A and B are shown apart, each in its own frame.
Chain A
C-alpha cells in the first residue's frame, strides 16, 4: 500500500493555516470597518435629525403646537432627501400618534413604542431591517411635545464593505496563489533529506538489506545442516 508523503500532510496543514489566517484577518477587518461606518452613518442621521428637531422646536417657540407647525410635512420630506440611506422619517406627538410621516398612509397610526426615545435621551434601535434613531422634540418649557424617528438602511455601508472585501480578496487570493505553491515546493524540498532517510531505512530492511543478510546467512546455515541431518540414512534401533 502506498500513500501520500508526510510532506503532503504538512503542506496541506500549512495551506489550511494560511487560508484560516487570511479568512480571520478578512473577517476581523471587515467587522472593524463595519463598526466605524455604522457609527459614521449614525452620526450623519443624527445630524439630520437634530437639525429637523431644532426647526420644529424653533417653530414651537412662537407658541405653535407640534401638530400645527407650518409646512411640517414639507420639512420632513425635504430632510428625507438629504441622505440616500434614509428610509423613513416619522414625527409623533407626546402620546406616540404619528403626525407627519414620509409614508403618509401611516399618519394617524401609533408609532412603535420600542423606537420612541426614553425621556430626553436619544434611543437607538434596530427593527425590521432598519436602524432607527429616536429623538425627543421639546418645547420651550422643557416638556416633551413629541418624538422624531429616523429609520435608515445600510445599503451604502454594505456597498462600501463589499468594495473593501473585494479589494482584500484580490490581493489575498493572489498572495495565496503565489505563496502556497511556493510553500508546497519549499516543504517538499525541506522534506527531501527526511524522505531519503526513510528510503534508506526501507532499503536496509529489504530482502537484500543488512539485517536480512546477516540473519539469512544464519538461517541458511541451519537449514543446510538440518537438511544434511534429514538426508542421513535411518538409524537402526540398538
Chain B
C-alpha cells in the first residue's frame, strides 16, 4: 500500500464506525423514547377501564345492601368482603370504601396500608389520581336510583406496566448493541470488498508496472473510484502493450534492410525486454487474491442464526419431552437435543475439515449452511423431542462444517504477517455473533414464539449462503489432504509433535478451564458467596468483555513482535496464576479478578494458537484446524466433570486452585517443548 494509504484507510474505518454508531443510536433511541411515552399515555385509559370494571363488580353487593336501607356506616363485614375481592384480582393494589367526605370506612389489598387520604372532593367526586406505582379510580356508591352515600376507591398497581417499561429499555439496549455490532461487521465487509481489496490489487499492478512488468491487468468490475483507478491502470498497461507491439513491427521492418540492421534491431528489442516485460497475446487480468474478510460476515451471521435459539432450547426440549410418551423423565429428555447437538458438532468437525480440503471453503460453507437451514426448518416443525433432537443434529453438522470452512478460508487467505490477527478475527466474529444472537433471539422468541425464531434462523442462513456465493472465491482446495481419509488425517495430525503439544498443553487445558471454572465453579462459588443471579451473570460476563480486546491484542503482538509461542505459554501461566490466587484472597474479590484475568489470558493466547496450527508447514490447514477444534470440544466436555470431581474431593476454592496449578504446569510444559523445538531448528539452520 502507498505510504499514506494505511493511515487514510484506518482513519476511514474509524470515522465510518463512529458515524454508524451515532446514526443508529440517534434514530433507535428516538423511536424507543417515543414508544415509551406513547405506551405510558395509552395504557393509562386501559388501566382506568380495568379499575372501573373492578369497581363496578365490587360495588354491586354494597349497593344492594344500601338499597335494602342499610346505611353505609352500618355495613357489617365490609373489610372482609373487600379483602376477598382484592385477593381475587391480581391487578388490585387496594380497595377503599369511604364516606362522602372521603374518610375511609373499610380498606383492603396489598397496598392498603400505604393509602393516601383524599385531599379534595369536587361535586363530581374525588376523580382519578396517579400515585407512586398506583393508578386510582373513584366510583360513587349509592342505592339503586339514590344519591351517592360514599366512594369506592380502586387502586390498580402499575407494577406490570413498569416492568414492561423496564423490559423495553433492556430490549432497546439489546437492539442497539446488536445493531452496532452488526453495523461494524457489515461495514468491515463492505470496506474490505469496496476499498481495501481493490486498493491492494491496484497497488500490486502499480508495483509490477513500476518494475516494468506489463503482463497483468487489474480487475475492473466495479463502477466506483476503485474501478476507475483499475481501468486507468489497465489503459496504461494496454497502451504500453500497443507501443511494444508497434516497436516489434518496427524492428521487423528495420530487420528487412539487412543482417546488420536485424542484429541492431534485435539488440534494441532485447535491451527493451530487459527493462519491460510484455506477454504474447496481451496482458491478462490478475485475479484478486482471496480476502480473509470474505468469510467473516457469513460466519458472524451464521453464529447469530445459531445462537438465536440458545435461550429457549432447554425450555422447548422440556415442553416437547412432556408431550412425548415414554418412560423417561421430561427433564432428562430435555437434555437430549443439547447433547445431540454437541455430539454432532464434535464428530462432524473433522469431516467438515476434510470436505473443506477437498472442495474448498466456498462449497463447504454452502453444504454446511444448507444442512443447518434444513435443521432450523425441521426444528420449527418438530412435534416431539425425537424430531427436535434430529433437527438439532442437522444444525450441529451444519455448524461444524460451516465454521471450520470459514476458519480454514481465513487461515488460507490471510496475508503474509497477518495470520494471527486474521484468525483472531475468527474468534472475535464467533464471540460477537454469539452475544448478538443470544440477546436478540430471546427478544424475538418472547414476541413471536419458538417456531418463528427457528424460521428467522433459517432465513438468516439463506442470507449467509447468498453472501458466501458472492464473496468467497471458488477453489482454495488442498490436494494433499483431499485424498486423505479422516483417520489418516488424524494420524498425520497427531503424529506432528508441535500440533500435539499445542493441543494437549494449550488448547485443551484452556477449554477445561473455560467450561470447568467460568461456566461451572465460578457461578456456584459466587452464588454461595451470596450474590444475586444477575450479579453472578455480570461477573461471568467479565470473561467475554476482557477476552474480546485481548484477542485483537494477542493477534497484533503475535504478528508484529513474533511472540506467538510466548503468548501461548504466558497466557496459560497467567491464567493458572489467577486461579491459584483465589484461595489466598476473599472470594468476592478474587473471583471477578480471576474471571477477568482468565478472559484476558485466553484471549491473548487464542489467535497465536490458531496461527501456530494454521502455519504448520506441509500439513493441511483445514484438517489441522478441525482436529484442534475437536480437541477443544472434548476439553469443553471434560471441564465441568473434572471440576465437579475435584469439588467432591475438597471444595470449590480447592478445585479452582488445582485447575490453576494444572493450567500453569501445562503452560510451562509448552514453553519447554517450544524451547526444544527452537534449539532443534537453530541446530538444523546452522
A interface residues, Cβ below 8 angstroms from B: 1-6, 8-10, 13-14, 17-18, 21-22, 24-29, 31-33, 35-37, 39-41, 43-44, 47-48, 50-51, 82-83, 156, 160, 163-164, 167-168, 170-172, 174-176, 179-180, 182-183, 186-187, 190-191, 193-195, 197-199, 201-202, 204-207, 209, 211-212, 215-216, 218-219, 222-223, 225-227, 229-230, 232-235
Contacts and interface: CB of A to CB of B under 8 A. Distances in A.
A226 B240 CA distance: 17
Contacts of A218: 272, 275-276
Contacts, number: 290
Nearest to B176: A21
Most buried by A among B167, B243, B259: B243
Interface of B: 2, 4-5, 8-9, 11-12, 15-16, 19-20, 22-24, 26-35, 37-39, 41-43, 45-47, 49-50, 53-54, 56-57, 60, 88-91, 160-161, 164, 167-168, 171-172, 175-176, 179, 182-183, 186-187, 190-191, 194-195, 199, 202, 206, 209-210, 212, 214, 222-229, 231-233, 235-236, 239-240, 243-244, 246-247, 250-251, 253-254, 257-261, 264-265, 268-269, 271-272, 275-276, 443-444, 446-448
Chain B contact surface mostly:
helix
Given A36-B161, A225-B268, A6 B195 contact: yes
A217 B37 CA distance: 73
A226 B19 contact: no
A172 B276 contact: no
A43 B261 CA distance: 107
Contacts of B8: 193-194, 197
A202 B15 CA distance: 24
B463 to A, nearest CB: 12
Contact of B26 (A4, A27, A175): A175
Nearest to B194: A6
A201 B202 contact: yes
Contacts of A37: 43, 46
Contacts of B187: 10, 13
A190 B254 contact: no
Contact of B9 (A43, A194, A204): A194
Given A3-B222, A8-B224, A229-B257, 14 more contacts: A6-B226, A14-B23, A21-B179, A25-B175, A33-B164, A37-B46, A48-B53, A160-B43, A167-B34, A187-B19, A198-B228, A206-B236, A222-B247, A226-B268
Contact of A197 (B2, B38, B179, B239): B2
B250 A179 contact: no
A179 B190 contact: no
A227 B251 CA distance: 8
Given A1-B227, A167-B34, A187-B19, A235 B247 contact: no
A163 B38 contact: yes
B171 A29 contact: yes
The 5 nearest A-B residue pairs measured at CB: A3-B223, A235-B258, A167-B38, A175-B30, A190-B15
